[in-house]
Amino acid sequence: MVSHPPAVDVPPQPWTGRFDGDGDDYRRWWQAVTPYTPAAGPSAAAPTPEAPAEATAAAGAVAPAVILGFGSDAGVRRNKGRPGAATAPAAIRTALGPLAFHLGRDVHDAGDVTVDGDVTVAGDALAAGQARAGLAITALLDAGLLPVVLGGGHETAFASYLGVTGSAAVRGGLKVGVLNLDAHFDLRDEALPSSGTPFLQMARAETAAGRELTYAVVGISEPNNTRALFRTAAELGVDYLLDEDSSAEAAHDFVAAFLARVDALYLTIDLDVLPASVAPGVSAPAAYGVPLPVISAVCRQLAASGKLLHIDVAELNPEFDVDSCTAKVAARLITTLLG
C-alpha cells in the first residue's frame, strides 16, 4: 500500500442522494462510497506479467475502485472546443449518488486534481495537472486498486497514460492496450498539447520508452476526422471501427480481437461517441454516433474480461447537458464497468 493518500487539489466531498433506509437492501451510491485513504480496505495484488489482470479476477479477487476527478478545460480550449468540462467530475458524482448500489466491490473517492488556467507564469498548467493526476493514478494502481477517472476534456487521457505507464506493473513488462470509445482519433499533431492530441503524445512517449502503442478506437466518425488523421492512424497501426459499422456483433468481435492482444486494458470513454440525442452535453455532439446499447454491451464485455486495469470517462460538459441526461449516461456506464 502507498504510505499516504494521492496528492489531490480538492479532497473528497460529501456525496448526496435519495434515502430509503440503512442496510444493504436500501444502499445507494452516496451511502456506499467512502473517502479514500491508504487503509480504505484490503486491496487485490497489483497485476504483473506473470499474474495479469484477468488471472487476478479469475482467482476471485475484485479490486476496490477509487474515483478520481480531473477537472480540466484547458485542453478543450486549446482544441477550439466548447469549454465546461472542468465541472464534469462533480456532475457525474451527482448522477451516481442516488443510484442503487449493486456492486460486489468497495468504491472510494480520492477527490479531484484540478487545472486552473492554461499557461501561467509557473509554466504549463495543463501539463502540471496531468503530471499530478498521473502520480495519483500510479499510486492507486500500485496499491492494487482500480482507478476510475472522471474528466475533464479528453486531455484526461494523457494524465491516465502517465499514471498507467508509471505503475510497477507496466514497468515490469505488462502489455497494456488502450481502447478508446470515441468519434475522434485525437491524434492531432499540434505544438501545444490539447484534448485533440493525447494519443499521438502517447505514441511518441511509447517510442521514446522503446515500446509501441497498442491503440484501438470504436466509433470513429469519418466526416469528423481529416485524411491527415486517418493517415496518422495508419502509420501508427491503429485499429478502428467506424460509427456506421458499429453494430453489436461487429463491436463485440472488434473488442474481443483487441483484448486477445493485451495483458490488461486502459479504457477511455469520450462521451461524444454516443449520438447527440443520448449525449448532448459534450463539447462536440455527434450527428450519428454509436447507439447506447452497443456501448453498454462493450462495457459489459470489458468488465467480464477481467482485464480492466484503468478507466476514464471524458468530455461531459454540464453547461450543455439536458436534464443531466449525459451525466446520467456516464454514471450508468460506470456502474456497468464496475459491476
Least confident of 43-52, 113-122, 195-204: 43-52
Q: What's the helix, strand, coil split of the chain in %, to 5?
A: 40, 20, 40
Q: How far apart are CA 279 and CA 189, in angstroms?
A: 27
> Do the beta carbons of residue 333 and residue 268 sit within 8 Å?
no
* 68 grid coordinates: 478520481
**pLDDT tier, 120 (very low <50, low <70, confident <90, very high otherwise):** low
Q: Which residues, 6 or more positions from 113, have their beta carbon under 8 angstroms from its beta carbon?
A: 8, 9, 68, 69, 70, 71, 129, 132, 133, 136, 159
Position with higher pLDDT, 249 vs 46: 249
Q: Per the omega criterion (within 30 degrees of 0), is the bond before 153 cis? A: no
Query: Band of the pLDDT at 38, cuts 50, 70, 90?
Result: confident
H helix intervals, the chain: 29-32, 53-58, 74-78, 88-96, 125-142, 156-165, 168-171, 198-208, 227-235, 248-259, 292-305, 325-338
pLDDT score for 168: 95
Question: Per-residue pLDDT averaged across 76-81, rounded?
Answer: 94
CB contact set of 219 (below 8 Å; sequence gap of 6+): 181, 182, 183, 241, 242, 243, 246, 273, 289, 290, 295
CB of 139 closer than 8 Å to CB of 36: no
Listed in sequence order, the residues at least 6 apart from 150 whose beta carbon sits closer than 8 Å to its beta carbon are 67, 68, 69, 70, 88, 89, 92, 93, 312, 313, 330
Over pLDDT 70: what percentage of the chain? Answer: 90
Q: Which of 105, 1, 2 shows the shortest CA–CA distance to 57?
A: 105
For 3, half-sphere exposure in the C-beta direction (CA atoms, 13 angstrom radius) is: 0
| Sign of the torsion formed by the C-alpha atoms of 199, 204, 206 and 211 | positive
Average pLDDT over residues 43-48: 62
Compute the half-sphere exposure of residue 132: CA atoms within 13 Å on the CB side of its CA.
22
Mean pLDDT within 160-185: 96
In tens, the pLDDT along 207-266 reads 999 999 999 999 999 999 999 999 999 999 999 999 999 999 999 999 999 999 999 999
CB neighbourhood size of 223 (10 A)? 9
Q: Answer yes or no: is pLDDT of 63 > 80.
A: yes
For residue 56, name the pLDDT band (cuts at 50, 70, 90).
low
Average pLDDT over the chain reads: 92
Instruction: Categorize the per-residue pLDDT at 41 as very low, low, confident or very high, splitting at 50, 70 and 90.
Output: very low
Q: Per-residue confidence at 51, pLDDT binned at 50, 70, 90?
A: low
For the stretch 186-206, pLDDT in tens is: 999 999 999 999 999 999 999
Cα separation, 107 vs 67, whole angstroms: 7
